[in-house]
Amino acid sequence: MEFRGSVPHDPGQPTAIPVTDGPPSRPPYEGIWRFTVPALDSSVPQARHAVRDLLHDQRVPALDDIVEGLLLIVSELVTNSVRHAALLSPEVGVEVAVGAGWVRVAVEDNHPYRPKALHADQGGTGGRGLLLVQVITAEAGGVCDAERTAGGGKVVWAALPLAGPGPALS
């Protein structure tokens, strides 16, 4: 599976790594991790727990609210893939990327439909997962999107700042 999506630039960090005599110094928690889960309902909590454990094991310095929001985003995105893409995608890919000031999760499946956030009526019991992802991401000061993959599927991703939203822009 191919993972794509941009990561927001860390304010206060240079846009290019300066050339030095040795390798650039990076926080030990930075990296990219990928795993797949079967497109089954039981995979939703498994994916959420795997991401939670990864963030803990890597000692990612994220605020508790950011981690909770990120885990809810993982649950919603994996649920969407399981419910809507299982026939074309028996496995769902999950990627976690962590930089110096941000964390990004991406969920990929082989279904070509690019989802849109639904504004379901009050009586509806579902259909608002992507809207919830957008709200959590915006409240955290992050970005999210859905993109097609080279293989014809899609990847839906969200990137959040580790420290939460910065000062409001006027």
Task: State the CB neighbour count (10 A cutoff) for residue 58.
Answer: 17
What is the average per-residue pLDDT within 71-95? 93
What is the average per-residue pLDDT within 6-21? 38
Domain layout of the chain by residue ranges = 31-119+126-161
Cβ-proximal residues to 3 (8 Å cutoff; 6+ apart), any chain: 34, 93, 95, 106, 108, 155, 157
- The tokens for 55 are 């963030």
Report which of residues 21 and 39 the model is more confident about. Answer: 39
In the chain, the amino acid numbered 24 is P
User: Which CATH architecture describes the domain 31-119+126-161?
Assistant: 2-Layer Sandwich (3.30)
87 burial via Cβ count (<10 Å: 0-12, 13-18, 19+): exposed
* pTM (2 d.p.): 0.79
